A and B are shown apart, each in its own frame.
Chain A
Amino acid sequence: MAEATATGTTGEEWQPKIVMFCCNWCSYGGADSAGMGRFQQPPTVRVIRVMCSGRMDPMFILNAFLEGADGVLFSGCHIGDCHYVNGNYKATIKYKFLKAMVNELGLEDERLKLDWISASEGERYAEVVTEFTEQIKKVGPSPLKPEGVI
């Protein structure tokens, strides 16, 4: 954590930067519900809306890491609930490949996560975000972070 505090703002605890991809129909609604339900969550997540978790291109995730994300979360409808019938099955396959790739590349396993959050699960959304933030805080800043990016 010595390195972690060095890159953070002085005196405060280092806050990771997390990019989260949410599907339009479930997880983005979940984020909304979390806000409306006033569920506490850390301000570490930057949400990007995609139409479906099956739309997730591995490149989006790789680019997020290269741009300086400490962790990437991506989330869609529960299995069987996909608005596009099977988009989340495709997401699972992509996740499997990405996970193996990120591991071989030498990034920590914890930095990438796929989870299912439905539109009504505001509380769960907040839980997932809190948990993931804690996880990233433990592993520290991403080694792929470009010079000068906090």
Chain B
Amino acid sequence: MGAVQVSGHSKSEVAQRFCGAWRYVGTTVDGKPRPGRGANPKGLIHYDPSGYMSVQVAPDRERKKAGNTPTPEEAQAALVEYTAYFGTYTIDEKAGTVTHHRQGSVQPGDAPEVVRCYEFAGDRLILRPPGTTHEIVWERIK
């Protein structure tokens, strides 16, 4: 299958490039900024040498709650466009893809696995859902 388990000692050069934390730059669809996350969404993705990963993207908008716990409507608004999941990851170098195997996700109904084509360009990591014109761009945090 060509999938590389990202653990153990003999990490490939590609696997090593993933390791560390990346800041969310933005998402484009067909070359245009993806709508729905406001002017300045923030986020972070992290690939650990142990084979674990986590990601979060927070939309740029105010998030309010009136009481101690959010009402159903406030909760619904809080979830819109917020990405938060974590788990393990595997790299298939031959296919040029990384798969996130989710163990937890704040979004109900998420599929357990996310496959992304990857490309490294300078300090950036570009992830593309296969078969789409989406580009999710990350920049290494220094």
Is chain B a partner of chain A in the same complex? no
Q: Which residues of A contact B (CB under 8 A)?
A: none
